[in-house]
């Protein structure tokens, strides 16, 4: 599971300061609505996934970038409190830290707009400086709030070493064949799977993605419908969701991906890792905010035992 030479999971990705507006309902284009409450907390898909992994008791490193502003200090201090290895998270001179503006409605649905700031300055060569650490890890996990160049560097470093390479293609954008060929596991949600494949049905989308990435396991997360799992060569199996009452779906996918990575690093089978990840997503939707909603190992176990 762990490795004397470094972290078992390395997450390469974004970190943002999240401004979350609680609204009765999400505005339509051209409409103004009043927020009932505003909250401010650390987020960003990369940081959320790294924290979710670390909270499972798995040594985890985060590779990312913050701005040279007071928010950058706040973000680094918050991540350090989560026991993350931040050796390769750097401050970018002259850049603002990433910010996310999130609206959450009365039934937990959300919209998110990200101003990437320093996240956009994370380069391939930045990630290359962490290549030796990534190559020694059991799992490298990345997402698409950073440049393709940084994503390719992260996955390539994993491939060059012994790490299982995992991509959460969020937010979705076109992925070229070279990038897909570097993925051992691809974890879109159903919306992202539809955008990437052109197929609305989740199972058809998973099969279309499998044809584009024949060496990869495809895992499609479907919220309250659970997850679909398609290993190379098939067949598709379904892992049910754990029923909960959602208050805020922000970071549910990040909880899933971080716990999936941690479980795989701990040597769980893929099916067991997806079960744990599904419980993590269920936990996350019952608590407001991104990082505050990410489960500890005991939370995941309680939901699976319950
Ligand atoms: O996935 C949720 C995250 O998306 C938020 O924390 C926000 O920062 C954006 O990156």
Report the nearest-CA residue for atom 2 of ligand 1. 251
- Which atom of ligand 1 lies closest to the CA of 14? 10
pLDDT tier at 44, thresholds 50, 70, 90: very high
Q: What pLDDT does residue 306 have? A: 78
Question: The whole model's pTM is what?
Answer: 0.96
State in Å: Cα 284 to ligand 1 middle. Answer: 13
Residue 44 near ligand 1, beta carbon < 6 Å: yes
Of 18, 105, 126, 254, the catalytic one is 254
Cβ-contact 58, 262 below 8 angstroms: yes
Residue having the nearest C-alpha atom to atom 1 of ligand 1: 251
Other CB atoms within 10 Å distance of the CB of residue 246: 16
* From 104, 145, 192, mutation site for ligand 1 pocket: most ligand atoms within 8 A of C-beta: 145
d(CA 247, CA 285): 6
Res. 222 pLDDT band, cuts 50 70 90: very high
Higher-pLDDT residue of 306 and 185 is: 185
- 80-107 pLDDT tens trace: 999 999 999 999 999 999 999 999 999 8
CA–centroid distance, 103 to ligand 1, in Å, is 11
> Is the per-residue pLDDT at 118 higher than 90?
yes
Nearest-atom number in ligand 1 for the CA of 16 is: 8
Catalytic site includes residue 299? no
- The pLDDT, as a whole number, for residue 5 is 64
Residue 252 CB–ligand 1 contact under 6 Å: no
């Amino acid at each position: 599971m762990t490795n004397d030479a470094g972290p078992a999971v390395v997450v390469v990705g974004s970190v943002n300061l999240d401004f979350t507006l609680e609204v009765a309902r999400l505005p339509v284009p051209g409409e103004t609505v009043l927020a009932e409450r505003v909250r401010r907390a650390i987020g960003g898909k990369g940081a959320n996934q790294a924290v979710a992994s670390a909270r499972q008791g798995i040594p985890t490193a985060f590779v990312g970038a913050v701005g040279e502003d007071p928010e950058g200090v706040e973000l680094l201090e918050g991540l350090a409190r989560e026991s993350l290895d931040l050796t390769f998270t750097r401050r970018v001179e002259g850049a603002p830290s990433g910010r996310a503006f999130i609206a959450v409605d009365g039934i937990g649905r959300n919209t998110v707009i990200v101003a990437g700031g320093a996240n956009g300055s994370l380069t391939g060569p930045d990630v290359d400086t962490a290549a030796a650490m990534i190559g020694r890890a059991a799992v490298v996990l990345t997402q698409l709030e950073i440049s393709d160049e940084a994503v390719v560097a992260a996955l390539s470093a994993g491939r060059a070493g012994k790490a299982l390479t995992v991509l959460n293609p969020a937010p979705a954008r076109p992925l070229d064949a070279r990038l897909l060929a570097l993925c051992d596991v691809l974890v879109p949600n159903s919306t992202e799977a539809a955008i990437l494949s052109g197929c609305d049905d989740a199972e058809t989308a998973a099969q279309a993605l499998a044809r584009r990435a024949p060496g990869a396991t495809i895992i499609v997360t479907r919220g309250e419908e659970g997850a679909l799992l398609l290993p190379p060569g098939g067949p598709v199996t379904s892992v049910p969701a754990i029923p909960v009452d959602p208050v805020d779906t922000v970071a549910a996918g990040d909880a899933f991906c971080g716990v999936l990575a941690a479980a795989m690093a701990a040597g769980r089978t893929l099916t067991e890792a997806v079960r744990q990840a599904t419980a993590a997503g269920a936990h996350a939707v019952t608590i407001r905010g991104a990082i505050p909603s990410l489960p500890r190992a005991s939370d995941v176990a309680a939901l699976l035992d319950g």
